[in-house]
Amino acid sequence: MAVRKAPAKPTPGKGATKVSESDRQAMIRDAAYFKAVQSGFNGDCMAHWLAAEREINKKLKGS
């Protein structure tokens, strides 16, 4: 009797991850908030946002 294997699940490949713009903005907003928390809410909120934006963009590009 032959054993049936389940079909292989697709694995994410290298490259950009597809997310909606609203999801991307939410990810950036959350990351910026956590950066502010880590700094004790000291510092520049724009710097937190820009750092979070770079981080999320890099993650979504798969780099």
Q: How high does pLDDT run on average in the chain?
A: 85
Q: In 22-42, which positions are buried (b, 16+ CB within 10 angstroms) versus exposed (e)?
A: eeeeebbeebbeebbeeeeee
For the chain, report the end-to-end CA distance as a whole number of angstroms. 45
Please indicate, yes or no, if residue 3 is contained in any of the structural domains: no
Q: How many domains is the chain partitioned into structurally?
A: 1
7, part of any domain: no
33: Cβ contacts below 8 Å, ≥ 6 apart: 48
Confidence band, pLDDT 50/70/90 cuts, at residue 62: confident
Is the residue at 16 inside a domain?
no
As a whole-number percent, the residues of the chain with pLDDT over 70 amount to: 71
**pLDDT higher than 50, residue 10:** no
In a domain, 56, yes or no: yes
Q: Which domain range does residue 42 map to?
A: 21-61
Asked if the structure places residue 13 within a domain, the reply is no
Looking at the domain assignment, is residue 51 inside a domain? yes
Per the domain annotation, does 40 fall within a domain? yes
* Whether pTM exceeds 0.95: no
